[in-house]
Amino acid sequence: MKLRMFAVAGILLALPLVALLAEDKKPTKEPDVIFVPTPQVVVDKMLELAEVKKDDVVYDLGCGNGIIVVTAAKKYGCKAIGFDIDPERIKESNENVKNNKVENLVQIKQEDIFKLDLSKANVVTLYLLPELNVRLIPQLEKLKPGSRIVSHDFDMKGVKPKKVVTVNSPGPDGREHTVYLWVTPLEKEKP
């Protein structure tokens, strides 16, 4: 009888912990965009345009499957951190990091990108909608001078890019992608 009571008490004590761990897997909020993978050729152009170097720290805001941070680590040997709100994307990114053996250089974190301190980054990569890029401007303005921001397909209204290039993706979709580069301090567009 006592053994059964201890077992029941143990189960009851463990339930809050199980519930807490289950909550950890849920998004703290719904993602602002759907996940659309960035083609490798575009990732390569983004990192090339940002002139990534070994001593840079790359932040990918809305990292999806982790392709940008994995590529940055493998190709340039730099540290990279991917941020996403969706637990499925976090899981997929972590698998990508592990499969590519870059755990020593890459971290994946489940966080709301609009609440991040970006001050440790030298390079920030984006594949978000234009209005979300604009929402990030106050955070991006706090980056160290000379930091680079690159965006796949979407601009940042009110801020003049340093460069804009197009990339054609191979394969059946073969579509044209636009990559934008900004360098801090951000240059405001004239009204």
What confidence tens digit (pLDDT) does each residue in 146-161 have?
999 999 999 999 999 9
Q: How far is CA 23 from CA 28, 36, 96, 191, in A?
A: 9, 25, 24, 46
For domain 40-188, give the fold.
Rossmann fold (3.40.50)
Residue 191's pLDDT band (cuts 50, 70, 90): confident
The domain segmentation of the chain, as residue ranges, is 40-188
For 2-52, what is each residue's pLDDT tens digit?
444 444 344 444 434 433 344 444 446 788 888 889 999 999 999 999 999
Whose CA is closest to 167, among 35, 38, 71? 38
**Strands (DSSP E) found in 51-147:** 57-61, 79-84, 106-110, 123-126
* Straight-line distance from the first to the last Cα atom of the chain, in angstroms, rounded to the nearest whole number: 79
State the amino acid at position 34 in one-letter form. Answer: I
For 112-125, what is each residue's pLDDT tens digit?
999 999 999 999 99
